[in-house]
């Protein structure tokens, strides 16, 4: 897990969520005993729902629905028994949690990137006034960082501008 700075207001919640996910994963049967060990699917599903509810921004995220009402294995064959259904439901829930978390992170990253572009381009306009010449070194640092990260020589104008 990436190092979370102690001054990050979400760090403790992220640590707790990761620990809860580790506990869930340790409860799942893997390997040869996959269908021989009982799994508390209802408890695991509730724990996943609680984790989802504890993550800022994720609790309000609504994923696009594509469920057709039939449970099938990855190869689309019908499920064989209740245990297999439970394990597939848990796998689907863990996958959905990961995908939804990634979608929220991507959305927030886009928001931050657009804000940074607005700051950069506002600075570009400000340095046209000689009274703001002191901003030029900061703009150059921002441009260099952008080029280093993207390979592009200059940041694009933000969306909507």
| Chain segment 3-57, per-residue pLDDT in tens | 555 667 777 888 888 899 999 988 888 777 666 778 899 999 999 999 988 888 8
The pLDDT value recorded for residue 10 is 75
Report the C-alpha gap between 116 and 118 in whole angstroms. 5
Report the C-alpha gap between 125 and 15 in whole angstroms. 42
pTM higher than the cut 0.75: no
Token duo for residue 27: 């409860």
Spatial contact of 114 and 158, defined as CB atoms under 8 Å apart = yes
Spatial contact of 27 and 40, defined as CB atoms under 8 Å apart = yes
Q: Is the pLDDT of residue 74 over 90?
A: no
Q: Tell me which of 142 and 33 has the higher pLDDT.
A: 142
Q: How many CB atoms are closer than 10 A to CB 73?
A: 14
Could you tell me which of 122, 85, 114, 98 has the C-alpha nearest to residue 24?
98
Q: Poorest-confidence range of 6-15, 109-118, 130-139, 141-150? A: 6-15
Could you tell me which of 110, 108, 123 has the C-alpha nearest to residue 154?
123
């Amino acid at each position: 897990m990436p190092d979370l700075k102690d001054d990050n207001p979400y760090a403790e919640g992220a640590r707790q969520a990761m620990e809860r996910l580790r506990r869930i994963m340790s409860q799942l049967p893997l390997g040869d005993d996959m269908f021989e060990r009982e799994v508390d699917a209802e408890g695991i599903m509730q724990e996943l729902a609680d984790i989802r509810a504890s993550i800022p921004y994720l609790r309000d995220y609504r994923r696009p629905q594509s469920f057709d009402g039939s449970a099938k294995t990855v190869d689309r064959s019908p499920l064989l028994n209740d245990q297999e259904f439970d394990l597939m439901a848990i796998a689907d829930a863990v996958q959905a949690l990961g995908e939804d978390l990634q979608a929220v992170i991507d959305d927030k990253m886009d928001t931050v990137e657009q804000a940074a572009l607005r700051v950069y381009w506002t600075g570009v306009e400000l340095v046209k006034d000689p009274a703001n010449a002191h901003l030029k070194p900061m703009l150059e640092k921002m441009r260099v960082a952008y080029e280093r990260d993207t390979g592009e020589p200059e940041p694009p104008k933000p969306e909507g501008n």
